[in-house]
């Protein structure tokens, strides 16, 4: 099995739609995919959150949400503001672990950027380290993207977490000069390949159209290699468990 955190260079960069698109694209290759949201904010119990968006666009898929808070704030701030307990790393790990066992790929969608606090001493970097995840960085396309992207990639590398790729979360129908240059400059300056470009408005497509188009938004070789590696890792894990049980 393989695990990937989906993080953004900031908030509102398209992480949820990218997560849904990647899940749909990987499912189209036959991979078993699960999605976890460690902390949902800005939602009351029973209201549809980010995972509901994923479920609507992707169709049948395993999802898991660890905690949710009513206020649209960073998770640590939202918990403190309503007098609730912050999410624990152990809760996230315990939620993700069975997903990893039962699926080829587990996607973990963060909240905002990589250093947004999930709890006073907890960020998505800690989640990635604890779950053995690589990282997919979702970025904007226009001015400011280069700086934010390099900062995010630098934070990942400083923690020893591999950035597996960059995805532009919303590509405009009529890109301006900076946006057109960023398509080349983002991978050139960050040293991380651009593996996906999701068109603006993709989240408004009907689910069937979304699912059929999703694979085309990602680099085909990267998608194939990553899902193949996930299956190899799963086969190795299954074989090792079988051998261990035999002893």
Catalytic residue numbers? 37
User: Residue with structure tokens 């904010």?
Assistant: 41
Q: Which letter does DSSP use for residue 203 in this model?
A: G
Q: Where are the alpha helices (DSSP H) in the chain?
A: 15-28, 50-58, 75-81, 89-102, 124-131, 145-158, 177-190, 207-214, 220-246
What gap in Å lies between CA 213 and CA 245, rounded to an integer? 42
Residue 66: which residues within 8 A CB-CB, separation 6 or more? 36, 37, 38, 39, 87, 91, 92, 95
Neighbouring-strand partners of residue 67: 39
Asked if 137 and 167 touch (Cβ cutoff 8 Å), the reply is: yes
- Buried-exposed string 86-112: b where 16+ CB fall within 10 A, e elsewhere: bbebebbbebbeebbeebbbbbbbbbb
């Amino acid at each position: 099995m393989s695990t990937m955190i989906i993080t953004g260079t900031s908030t509102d960069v398209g992480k949820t739609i990218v997560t849904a698109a990647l899940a749909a694209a990987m499912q189209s290759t036959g991979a078993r995919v699960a999605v976890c949201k460690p902390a949902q904010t800005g939602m009351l119990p029973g209201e549809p959150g980010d995972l509901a968006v994923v479920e609507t666009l992707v169709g049948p898929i395993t999802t898991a949400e660890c905690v949710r808070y009513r206020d649209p704030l960073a998770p640590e701030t939202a918990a403190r503001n309503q007098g609730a307990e912050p999410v624990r790393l152990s809760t996230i790990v315990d939620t993700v672990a069975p997903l990893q066992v039962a699926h080829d790929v587990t996607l973990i969608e963060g909240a905002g950027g990589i250093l947004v606090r999930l709890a006073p001493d907890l960020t998505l970097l800690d989640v990635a380290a604890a779950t053995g995840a690589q990282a997919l960085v979702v970025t904007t396309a226009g001015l400011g993207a280069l700086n934010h992207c390099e900062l995010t990639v630098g934070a990942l590398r400083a923690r020893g977490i591999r950035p597996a790729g960059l995805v532009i979360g919303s590509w405009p129908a009529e890109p301006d000069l900076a946006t057109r240059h960023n398509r080349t400059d983002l991978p050139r300056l960050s040293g991380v390949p651009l593996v996906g470009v999701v068109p603006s408005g993709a989240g408004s497509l009907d689910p069937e159209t979304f699912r059929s188009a999703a694979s085309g938004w990602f680099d085909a070789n990267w998608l194939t290699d990553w899902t193949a590696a996930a299956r190899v890792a799963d086969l190795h894990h299954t074989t090792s468990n079988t051998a261990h049980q035999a002893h």
